Amino acid sequence: MQIHDRTAQLPALSGELADLRSATSDTSRGAFEEWRAGWRAGFAAFIGLATCLPIWANVSSLFVQPLQDEFGWSRTQIVFAYNASLVSAIAAPFFGQLIDRVGIRRILLAAMVLTALGYIGLASVSRSLPVYYFFYLWVNIFGICTSGLGFTRVVSAAFERSRGTALAVARLGNGAAGAIFPPLMFSLIVAEGWRTGFLLLAGLIVFVALPAAWFGIDRGGQGVMGSAKQSQIWIAHLKERKVVLLCSAAGLMLAPSIALLMQLSPVLTNKGLAPQDSALLLSMMGVAVIVGALLGGFLVDRIWAPLVACIFTLGPASGCLLLVPDHVSLTTAAIAVVCHGLAQGAELDLVAYMVARYFGLHSYATIYGITSLSTSVCITILNNVIALLYAGFGNYQFGIITCAASLTLAAAFFLAMGRYPKAR
């Protein structure tokens, strides 16, 4: 009797397996159709993230010494301009709301032109430090639209089934540019001067990014997303529990990795490693960022995104604990740095994916802008906390423990996001 019952169940089981194979085939076919229809948008995002404002973070330090040599400005005066990034982060939610209201195509194209004009202004600076600050702020404020705020919106609208993978591929544009452009920019500045360097940055936008965006971003699919009446003021989103959770998680996740990256050399030297080891580990982190972007994008298309984010967050939390002892080996430091690089690479894809999945595209750029602001604030606070703790205790132990606590709290916030909404 039992044998007969089990035999009777076989057709039903076979039917379920057939349905599963059919669903898998439909998913693969749907993803293929998405890429065939949306590859131009993905390519435009790849090029934009490689040539617009995101590349500035990789080459900005190359201009410090030439400016100091020509104008006699102190290094502190030049680096003070970096505070413009915090101002642009404050502007991000407002630009996000504008993108959601007007549409990404027009805003992005206009922002590219204005950013290029800002670089041309920097190339024409004389001895006036306030003028330098003005154009530096100009580039950062209008350039924020040409960063993840704008280009992840392009990708999220063009892809759904393979959105995580598409975001990761677009992210590789910045990773590839970060590996290629710094040595080229250094050689150009040495040979032709720093003004030519700024003109190159403007040229990349005008002659490379702008045409890619013009032909890659569809006029119809990327048109007006909502009227002024339908768009919400960005502050109103802060009343939503899941918006607060995601913004907090994004800031608490990325801030420790960025803070440690900015102070990596003194941290490792304090742990007994040679200065040349820091350069090696920075290179390893660059590779880990690329791997993290691809791996994170691949996983979120298949696994609940908050769980993926939790895993990527607890990895660098464990890496922080490896750096707590007074002396660490090169191998131990490498493991810790790679964990942070993986998390840093995956963060953009994870946050962008969850904004689209939990809140839809109607207010995508607004909410993404709020996460950018939250991340910038957390980075600023954590950098100052680490500096104060080092000044108070004479070592980085307590600062590193603070980073581990921040990452652990971020993991908890990600898990608290709950199930995906059925419809948005």
- 173-224 pLDDT per residue, tens: 887 887 788 888 889 999 999 999 999 999 999 999 999 999 998 775 444 4
Q: What's the pLDDT at 308? A: 94
Q: What is the pLDDT of residue 145?
A: 93
pLDDT of 225: 46
The Cα–Cα gap between 311 and 314 comes to 5
Residue that finishes a domain, picked among 196, 230, 264: 230
- In the 8-state DSSP scheme, what is residue 324? -
Q: Is 263 helix (H, G, I), strand (E, B) or coil?
A: coil
Structural domain boundaries, residue 134: 38-230
pLDDT for 28 equals 52
Two tokens at 309?
């984010």
- Per-residue pLDDT at 207: 96
Return all residues near 338 (Cβ < 8 A) that are at least 6 apart.
Answer: 284, 285, 288, 319
Q: Using one digit for the tens of pLDDT, what is the confidence trace for 326-381?
A: 888 889 988 988 888 888 888 878 999 999 999 888 888 888 888 888 888 888 88
Closest-CA residue to 74 (of 129, 133, 140, 131): 129
Q: Are 218 and 41 in contact (CB under 8 A)?
A: yes
Say whether both 280 and 253 belong to one domain: yes
Q: Report DSSP state, residue 230.
A: T
- Residue 161 in domain: yes
Whether residue 19 lies inside any domain: the answer is no
Where is 227: in which H helix or E strand? none
What pLDDT is attached to residue 358? 92
Query: Do 221 and 249 have their domain in common?
Result: no
> What is the domain-level CATH number for residue 102?
1.20.1250.20
Residue 205 lies in a domain: yes
Residue 292: C-alpha distances to residues 111, 238, 286, 300 (Å): 29, 29, 10, 12
* 21 within some domain: no
List of the chain residues with pLDDT < 50: 1-27, 221-231
Q: Which two tokens stand for residue 162?
A: 């393979």
For residues 376 and 250, state if they share a domain: yes
Q: How many domains does the chain have?
A: 2
Q: How many other C-beta atoms can be found within 10 angstroms of the C-beta atom of residue 143? A: 26
C-alpha 218, offset from chain centre: 23
Residues 271 and 247 in one domain: yes
Quote helix, strand, coil % in the chain, to nearest 5.
85, 0, 15
Look at residue 2 and tell me if it is in a domain.
no
For residues 40 and 212, what is the distance between their CA atoms, to the nearest angstrom? 8
